[in-house]
């Protein structure tokens, strides 16, 4: 059995499972696996989901925070609404200052958790895709720094490459515990990796 064959099976497995369990994306399992391992999201939490379309992570977050929590999804693309009064979405570019202002205006209180699955449209030119993705991860961190409560958590996707270490160093400056996580549901050949930052210490 070739590695590629196994990888394709794994991809199909999560794709099928997402269909069966009514998740909007396979990505839902990446978040579920991370929460299962690190427990960084809890009932009643206020959660901001950056790069939220089509909404798999929003579904998972709502499942965890329940009726008394609050979930805000942000994406440059439209997100089909979820039928819950405590799940809100806005269309916005995370690189624009106005998006941060709108996020703050909608939050009921400082966030407990900021999650980001932000990815650019990949061009196939690795250096370019890597740099663009890191720029998005930096925006996610910036938004987290100005919306999180003390002790809050982040979960941010990063494409692993030359710029990774510097980004990791900036996360370590603000969080008491930092872990790097590659979920089982993430393809092995994909450069994506997730940074979990727990126990936010405001500057």
Ligand X SMILES: C[S@@+](CC[C@H](N)C(=O)[O-])C[C@H]1O[C@@H](n2cnc3c(N)ncnc32)[C@H](O)[C@@H]1O
The set of catalytic residues is: 157
- Which residue lies nearer to ligand X by CB, 25 or 153? 25
The reply to whether 72 sits near ligand X by the rule CB under 6 A is no
**DSSP result, 163-193:** THHHHHHHHHHHEEEEEEE--TTS-TTS-EE
Report how far residue 84's alpha carbon sits from residue 33's, in angstroms, rounded to the nearest whole number. Answer: 23
The reply to whether 75 sits near ligand X by the rule CB under 6 A is yes
Q: According to CB under 6 A, which one of 12, 21, 93, 162 is a site residue for ligand X? A: 93
Q: What is the DSSP letter of 66?
A: -
Smallest distance from the beta carbon of 157 to ligand X, in angstroms?
8
Question: Are the CB atoms for 52 and 120 separated by under 8 Å?
Answer: no
Bridge-based pairing of strands 192-200 and 175-181 is antiparallel
Window 124 to 163, contacts with ligand X (CB under 6 A): 136
- Which residue lies nearer to ligand X by CB, 93 or 127? 93
Residues forming contacts to ligand X in the complex (CB under 6 A) are: 24-25, 27-28, 51-57, 75-77, 93-95, 117-120, 136
């Amino acid at each position: 059995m070739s590695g590629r064959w196994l990888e394709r099976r794994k991809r199909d497995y999560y794709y099928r499972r997402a269909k069966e369990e009514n998740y909007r994306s396979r990505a839902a399992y990446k978040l579920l696996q991370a929460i299962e391992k690190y427990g960084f999201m809890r009932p009643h939490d206020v959660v901001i989901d950056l790069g939220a379309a089509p909404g798999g992570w929003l579904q998972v977050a709502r499942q965890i925070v329940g009726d008394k929590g609050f979930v805000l999804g942000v994406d440059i693309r439209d997100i089909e609404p979820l039928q819950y009064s405590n799940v809100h979405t806005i269309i916005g570019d995370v690189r624009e200052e106005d998006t941060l202002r709108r996020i703050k205006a909608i939050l009921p209180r400082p966030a407990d958790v900021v999650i980001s699955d932000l990815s650019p449209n990949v061009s196939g030119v690795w250096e370019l895709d890597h740099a663009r993705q890191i720029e998005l991860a930096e925006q996610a961190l910036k938004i987290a720094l100005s919306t999180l409560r003390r002790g809050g958590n982040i979960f941010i996707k990063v494409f692993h490459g030359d710029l990774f270490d510097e980004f990791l160093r900036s996360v370590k400056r603000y969080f008491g515990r930092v872990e790097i996580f590659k979920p089982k549901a993430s393809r092995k050949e994909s450069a994506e990796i997730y940074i979990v930052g727990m126990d936010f210490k405001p500057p």
